[in-house]
Amino acid sequence: MIILVLLRAIIGPTVIDRLISINAITSKVSAIILLMAFIRGDYGYFDIAFVFMLCGFVGGLWILKVLVPGDWQLRVPGMKGFEGEVLSTETGPESGGGASND
């Protein structure tokens, strides 16, 4: 099954096909590592499978960041530090608005 997914990663016409194939291969290899750990009774393999899955996840994010253009900033409205661009809506003397004393 991994060979078929690898073939799809090589032939896949789009980047998304390749990315999904790489994620599928990572999942299948992690499942094989976890089955080996269960069969052998050596649960040290869980750490290896976990690190392998994390590397696959970070690699997928890196591929998306490199191949998909655009702005990659986190914007959460109402959360301090994550608002993105702050637009001035104040009408005070420092913003140029408000009443003038002419």
Domain carrying residue 31: 2-67
CA distance 92 to 58: 46
Higher pLDDT, 1 or 91: 1
The answer to whether residue 84 sits within a structural domain is: no
The answer to whether residue 96 sits within a structural domain is: no
Number of structural domains (the chain) is 1
The answer to whether residue 85 sits within a structural domain is: no
- How would residue 6 be classed by pLDDT, with cut points 50, 70 and 90? confident
The answer to whether residue 54 sits within a structural domain is: yes
The answer to whether residue 44 sits within a structural domain is: yes
**pLDDT the model gives residue 82:** 64
**pLDDT the model gives residue 89:** 56
The answer to whether residue 77 sits within a structural domain is: no
CA distance 29 to 13: 24
Instruction: Please check whether residue 37 is in contact with residue 44, taking contact to mean a CB–CB distance below 8 angstroms.
Output: yes
Q: What is the pLDDT of residues 11-52, one digit of tens each?
A: 878 888 888 888 999 999 999 999 999 999 988 889 999 999
CA distance 74 to 102: 45
The answer to whether residue 76 sits within a structural domain is: no
**pLDDT the model gives residue 26:** 92
| Residue of 23, 82, 32 whose CA lies nearest to 58 | 23
How big is the chain by its Cα radius of gyration, in Å?
25
Distance (Å) of CA 57 to CA 4, 61, 63, 67: 21, 6, 10, 15
Residue 36 carries which side chain, given as an amino acid letter?
Answer: M
**pLDDT the model gives residue 28:** 93
The answer to whether residue 35 sits within a structural domain is: yes
CA angle in degrees (0–180, nearest 5) for 55-30-4? 100
Q: What is the pLDDT of residues 42-85, one digit of tens each?
A: 888 899 999 999 999 998 888 888 877 776 666 777 777 666 66
